[in-house]
A and B are shown apart, each in its own frame.
Chain A
Amino acid sequence: DAGVTQSPTHLIKTRGQQVTLRCSPKSGHDTVSWYQQALGQGPQFIFQYYEEEERQRGNFPDRFSGHQFPNYSSELNVNALLLGDSALYLCASSRGRSSYNSPLHFGNGTRLTVT
């Protein structure tokens, strides 16, 4: 049973550049959420995708955008990178939007460093 997979594992970018991170959800899951985790902090919710649409969004600027494909995989795009965007980016998948009892399952994350 394949879990959540993310790519790439690590990225180094320069300020002002753009980055795309990718995620494939766990088998049987149709909802993908993205989180940013700075060092020493808990994951911060960026947004959630279900049925190829952004359904919920956290307190992140429009530089953060995403997409979900028909096979439920997802991309996170960040434009005009800032030093403060350096973090571990976590993709989490879950099953359905109408259940309270579907926990998040995380991928291994992408470590983004902005120089």
Chain B
Amino acid sequence: QKEVEQNSGPLSVPEGAIASLNCTYSDRGSQSFFWYRQYSGKSPELIMSIYSNGDKEDGRFTAQLNKASQYVSLLIRDSQPSDSATYLCAVQYNFNKFYFGSGTKLNVKP
């Protein structure tokens, strides 16, 4: 069984701060990594993808990948109350087979 681990939280940050979300995975053969945001009662929404080591920035979001350490992270700069949601880390192990972590709940306090 491929493992994807996330701290369940909740992670509380004040509005305007940087939120840092972390994810580790067990299979070194994993190739692609994704972050999904899920609001309560809604379906997951893709916010970032990363395929190679290093950083990838998209607006207020930065994904970081370190394959040697089997570690993926998501930074959210200038956090807003609307960012309050559960963030799911997904690892693509096999063609079109994805494993998800249980998610980290983020609370951004006004």
Taking beta carbons and an 8 Å cutoff, which residues of A are in contact with B? 31, 33, 35, 40-45, 48, 50, 55-56, 59, 88, 90, 94, 96-109
Contacts and interface: CB of A to CB of B under 8 A. Distances in A.
A48 B96 CA distance: 8
A50 B92 CA distance: 17
Given A100-B31, A100-B32, A105 B95 contact: no
Interface of B: 1, 4, 8, 31-32, 34, 36, 42-46, 49, 51, 88, 90, 92, 94-103
A109 to B, nearest CB: 5
B105 to A, nearest CB: 9
A106 B43 contact: yes
> Interface of chain B, helix or strand or loop or mixed?
strand
A38 to B, nearest CB: 10
Contacts of B99: 45
A41 B103 CA distance: 7
Nearest to A4: B43
A106 B96 contact: no
Most buried by B among A43, A56, A94, A96: A43
29 contacts: A31-B96, A33-B97, A35-B100, A40-B102, A41-B102, A42-B100, A42-B102, A42-B103, A43-B44, A43-B100, A48-B96, A48-B97, A55-B96, A56-B94, A56-B96, A59-B1, A94-B96, A96-B96, A97-B95, A99-B95, A100-B51, A100-B92, A102-B96, A103-B46, A103-B49, A105-B46, A108-B42, A109-B42, A109-B43
